[in-house]
Structure 1
Amino acid sequence: MTQLQKQRILVVDDEQAMRELLTDLFEDAGYEVSTAADSFSMNRALEEKPCALVILDLRLKGEDGLMLARELRKDSSIPIMMLTGKGDETDRILGLELAADDYLMKPFNNRELLARVRAMLRRTTELSLPQIRKEDSYSHQRYSFDHWVLDLTSRELFGPDGAVESLTYAEFGLLEVFVQSPNRALSRDQLLELSRGIEADVFDRTIDVLILRLRRKIEPNPKQPRYIRTERGLGYIFTAAVTQC
């Protein structure tokens, strides 16, 4: 991989030792790495040069990592991997609900972190490459449901008004599974494997949080979902009438 082809990872952590460890890990794996110790240096790094993924510590000194992730997500769909030394599941659920695409607790296994980062970057690359052929509309694979259109080629979701609805790669992957398997009850394990891959080491509530996020974006009334229904004891089912177009 040449220098021009290297993907850039931004590591945001207030511990110098952790920044150095992650820099060595990712550079040895062939990535370009930038580091930041706080929100100011994070924003400056993002402005200076685009990056493919952000690894963000939840427990930054004097700052709320969850708030930083939420602010970042407002303006960008860049994948966010959250790190924390606290094993509280509440933090994990809250972090994923706010903005993050994945979560790993310190101390972590270097090989596991690298594998999960590679999986996230691979999926992100798959999202962006089709944009080169965006003008070739005849080659696009699309699914429609109730005036929504999911374009699997350009990786975009178009609302009833024709506007593009912003989805993270994890949300898009989950919706893709649903439109390709309508009216079929899918367990959480099946949804995790089909939408995120078996490389991702996640917990059961991850799917619940992603479902919540998707419902907020596509359901007329998220509290009374029309499309993504809960099947008690089984998982979830996508009940919309789906057509390929």
Structure 2
Amino acid sequence: MNPAPSQSVRIAVVEDEDGLRELLVDDLRNRGHAVEGFANAEALYRHLSVHPIDIVILDVGLPGEDGFSVASHLRQLVAVGIILLTARTGAKSMQRGFLEGADIYLTKPVDYDVLEAATVNLHRRLSSSAAAEAPVSKTTAVTYSPSMSWALADGGWTLRSPGGASLSLSDPERALLSLLFRTLGETVPRSKLVAALTDAPLEFDPHRLDALVYRLRSRVRETCGEPLPIRSVRGTGYVLASPCTA
């Protein structure tokens, strides 16, 4: 029997080989983690749009969008740990993996104890880093809504809650919120939001927009203790509204 982990981690395993994916998922679950398996990038993005994930274990040779591309997109959209798991052992592949955003690069066949240790240690490091982030002391509000008391500060890189809590924003989060604050109370079409996030909107998987919004809501709730009033308008887009708006 596998020993219980020092902490449970929410893990997504993205591997197109069914047998290997099942083995990885079963082993990590037996170690006490919350694990889901996916055969391709699209399935992962759909899951991320409604479920938080701590670590993504990612095969490079995926059908459709490969693991390098997925790692790059994840690094831009959500704050997760990324472990690339691949049969490619060359230095060039490893270099590319790290440049695309991987935190750890492991080669197949994988040692399950090593994968477990890498997963737990990466999660611990990322959690410690997030907790150690110092609060921003300088405030220069670029957009402010008195009715909501939510503000973007420091050139749009910091979100301030009505209770005074602060959250540092990623590049995509900043672009998304800047647009929503400028159109406060108005529904912004998905196409316009996607255009604010990428220079290649036709190649942008729309599930990544939903994953970004969901992750941002979760981070705001966890860090600020208040829900960010971004509302989904079915079939249209998103709106930033006052909490008391019907």
* Structure 2 letter corresponding to 1:8: R
Give the structure 2 partner of residue 12 of structure 1.
14
**C-alpha displacement of 1:97:** 0.7
Structure 1 unaligned spans of 5+: 138-159, 168-245
Residues 16 and 38 in structure 2, CA contact (< 8 A), matched pair in contact too: yes
Residues 76 and 170 in structure 2, CA contact (< 8 A), matched pair in contact too: no
SS at structure 1 position matched to 2:106: strand
**C-alpha displacement of 1:108:** 1.5
Residue from 84, 93, 103 that aligns with 1:91: 93
Residues 38 and 60 in structure 1, CA contact (< 8 A), matched pair in contact too: yes
SS at structure 1 position matched to 2:49: helix
**C-alpha displacement of 1:165:** 7.9
**C-alpha displacement of 1:6:** 3.9
**C-alpha displacement of 1:45:** 1.1
Give the structure 1 partner of residue 124 of structure 2.
122
Output aligned runs, 1:25-174, within 5 Å.
25-130=27-132, 163=157
How far apart, CA to CA, are the structure 2 residues paired with 1:64 and 1:23? Answer: 20
Residues 9 and 33 in structure 2, CA contact (< 8 A), matched pair in contact too: yes
Across the two proteins, how many residue pairs are aligned to each other?
139
**C-alpha displacement of 1:78:** 1.1
Residues 55 and 83 in structure 1, CA contact (< 8 A), matched pair in contact too: yes
Residues 83 and 106 in structure 2, CA contact (< 8 A), matched pair in contact too: yes
How far apart, CA to CA, are the structure 2 residues paired with 1:6 and 1:102? Answer: 19
SS at structure 2 position matched to 1:108: coil
**C-alpha displacement of 1:62:** 3.4
**C-alpha displacement of 1:35:** 1.2
Structure 2 CA distance for partners of 1:62 and 1:162, relative to 1, 3 Å: closer
How far apart, CA to CA, are the structure 2 residues paired with 1:8 and 1:77? Answer: 13
Identity percentage of aligned residues = 34
Describe the superposition over 1:73-132 as per-residue Cα deviations: whole angstroms up to 9, x where unpaired.
11123110001112121110001011111100001211111111111011122133457x
**C-alpha displacement of 1:12:** 0.5
Residues 40 and 64 in structure 2, CA contact (< 8 A), matched pair in contact too: no
Higher relative contact order (CA 8 A, sep 6+): 2
SS at structure 2 position matched to 1:48: coil
* Structure 2 letter corresponding to 1:126: S
Residues 38 and 44 in structure 2, CA contact (< 8 A), matched pair in contact too: yes
Describe the superposition over 1:175-220 as per-residue Cα deviations: whole angstroms up to 9, x where unpaired.
xxxxxxxxxxxxxxxxxxxxxxxxxxxxxxxxxxxxxxxxxxxxxx
Residues 11 and 36 in structure 1, CA contact (< 8 A), matched pair in contact too: yes
Give the structure 2 partner of residue 203 of structure 1.
none
* Structure 2 letter corresponding to 1:117: T
**C-alpha displacement of 1:161:** 6.6
Residues 84 and 104 in structure 1, CA contact (< 8 A), matched pair in contact too: yes
Residues 59 and 84 in structure 1, CA contact (< 8 A), matched pair in contact too: yes
**C-alpha displacement of 1:23:** 1.0
How far apart, CA to CA, are the structure 1 residues paired with 2:89 and 2:8? Answer: 33
* Structure 2 letter corresponding to 1:89: A
How far apart, CA to CA, are the structure 1 residues paired with 2:156 and 2:48? Answer: 30
Give the structure 1 partner of residue 142 of structure 2.
none
